[in-house]
């Protein structure tokens, strides 16, 4: 067995004391770290809840945008339908006016043809003389 001097024993005890003090102080630090870990986990959970709320709000906003786009589309289609309905009415009126004027135009064309024939006959008689 090895005998230690009094100074060595005191030195060893001092070293052991420092180690124990360090371990004791580290216990407090470790407790703080563990509390911080718990706090970070709780914050992460809160963040997840906020992300859920944000997602719901985003989806609601998208629904509102889609409804607004549908309303705009319906309005534009209604305007287009109204415009085409007016164009159909105008085209039908033009067709009726054209049908009504065909007889008059045919008569006018017949008279013009008759006039041209008479002119040709007179011109032919003048050349024959």
> Consecutive sets of 10 residues in the chain, 129 residues long: mean pLDDT of each?
82 91 85 93 95 96 96 92 93 93 92 92 81
Alpha helices (H) along the chain = 6-128
Evaluate the CA torsion angle 115, 117, 118, 119 in order and state its sign: positive
Q: Assess if residue 111 is contained within a domain.
A: no
C-alpha span between 39 and 89 (Å, rounded): 74
Q: Are 4 and 12 spatial neighbours (Cβ–Cβ below 8 Å)?
A: yes
Q: Domain range for residue 93?
A: 1-100
Q: Assess if residue 6 is contained within a domain.
A: yes
pLDDT of residue 1: 59
Q: Assess if residue 113 is contained within a domain.
A: no
pLDDT of residue 23: 87
Q: Assess if residue 25 is contained within a domain.
A: yes
Q: Assess if residue 80 is contained within a domain.
A: yes
C-alpha span between 74 and 82 (Å, rounded): 12
What's the total number of domains in the chain? 1
Q: Assess if residue 88 is contained within a domain.
A: yes
pTM above 0.75, yes or no: no
Q: Provide DSSP, 112-126.
A: HHHHHHHHHHHHHHH
DSSP 129: -
Q: Are 13 and 5 spatial neighbours (Cβ–Cβ below 8 Å)?
A: no
Q: Assess if residue 51 is contained within a domain.
A: yes
pLDDT of residue 43: 95
Q: Assess if residue 116 is contained within a domain.
A: no
């Amino acid at each position: 067995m090895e005998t230690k001097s009094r100074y060595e024993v005191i030195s060893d005890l001092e070293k052991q004391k420092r180690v124990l003090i360090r371990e004791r102080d580290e216990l407090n630090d470790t407790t703080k770290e563990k509390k911080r870990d718990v706090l970070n986990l709780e914050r992460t959970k809160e963040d997840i809840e906020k992300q859920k709320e944000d997602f719901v709000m985003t989806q609601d906003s998208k629904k509102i945008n889609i409804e607004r786009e549908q309303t705009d589309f319906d309005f534009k289609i209604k305007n287009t339908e109204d415009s085409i309905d007016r164009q159909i009415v105008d085209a039908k009126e033009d067709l009726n006016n054209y049908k009504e004027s065909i007889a008059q135009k045919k008569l006018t064309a017949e008279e013009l043809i008759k006039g041209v024939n008479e002119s040709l006959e007179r011109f032919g008689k003048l050349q024959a003389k």
